[in-house]
Amino acid sequence: MKQTHPNLDLIHGFFTAYGNNDSVGIKKVLDENIKWHIPGEHPLSGTKNGVEEVLEYFKQLGKGSFKAEPIVMGVNDTHVIDCHRNWSNLGNEENLDNMSCLLWRIENNKIKEVHNFPENQKVVNSFFQKLYG
């Protein structure tokens, strides 16, 4: 039987809940005082503090029919690094299709902090500036 690291299970649980727009499932894996760092110069950038701000950020991403699909992950006892594809499905040429890596810090089997590293910050900035003004 193949075993996985519990931190990988936690991140896979996050992506499953996120993909299903399951805010209850997302809350189960996030620390209540989570910090989620979004780089860039656009309306959604900045640090989101606490579960409610993170969930509001995800709600805003929904406006762009924003999706994420993990590609590869690395793990140790305190962190997961994942690289994934981000894309939007707006039905027009303004869609985003970009890679990102996230550095997840895990504490007490909860996601405590996340740093986002986009493949091309200029593309991300432009997409979110057009979508959110």
- The domains located in the chain, with CATH, are 6-132 (3.10.450.50)
Query: What is the percent of the chain where pLDDT is above 90?
Result: 63
Q: What are the structure tokens assigned to 127, written together?
A: 């997409």
* Counts of helices then strands in the chain (DSSP H, E): 4, 6
Q: Encode pLDDT of 52-102 as tens digits.
A: 999 999 988 877 777 778 889 999 999 999 998 888 877 666 788 889 999
Strand partners, 72: 83
> Does residue 1 carry a pLDDT above 60?
no
> What local confidence, expressed as pLDDT, does residue 47 receive?
98
The pLDDT-based confidence of 114 (bands split at 50, 70, 90) is very high
CA-CA distance, 35 to 63, in Å (whole number)?
Answer: 22
Model confidence, pTM: 0.90
